[in-house]
């Protein structure tokens, strides 16, 4: 069973995918267990669209997603390859190079 979205999850998801008008269910009728995977695979039209959406996030929201990734609650490795790169770049830009190193170490990409 996937995690239940918190208020912060909902806020970020709605900012990244406003066209879904708050719908957080897959076409199979299950609640999304992740924020970024459906964005990467179903919602964003391509890597550039994914990046544009991710750039809407502020530092606090990026920190929140970073923490979820560190806890294994946000599956960064399952994103499209370009989107993994985008996430890593935005961690470095919005947070710090140190945070990027922590994430790469956690994901075994150091």
What distance in Å separates the CA atoms of residue 105 and residue 108, rounded to the nearest whole number?
Answer: 5
CB atoms within 10 A of CB 65: 25
Q: Read off the pLDDT of residues 34-74 as tens digits, 9 standing for 90 and up.
A: 999 999 999 999 999 999 999 999 999 999 999 999 999 99
What distance in Å separates the CA atoms of residue 44 and residue 63, rounded to the nearest whole number?
Answer: 21
Query: Does the global pTM surpass 0.95?
Result: no
């Amino acid at each position: 069973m996937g995690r239940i979205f918190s208020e912060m999850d909902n806020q970020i998801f709605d900012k990244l995918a406003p066209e879904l008008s708050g719908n957080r269910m897959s076409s199979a009728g299950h609640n999304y267990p992740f924020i970024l995977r459906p964005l990467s695979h179903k919602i964003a039209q391509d890597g550039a669209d994914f990046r544009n959406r991710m750039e809407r996030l502020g530092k606090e929201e990026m920190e929140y997603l970073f923490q979820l990734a560190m806890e294994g609650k946000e599956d960064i490795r399952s994103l499209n390859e370009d989107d993994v790169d985008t996430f890593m770049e935005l961690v470095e830009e919005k947070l710090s190079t140190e945070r990027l190193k922590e994430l790469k170490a956690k994901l075994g990409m150091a």
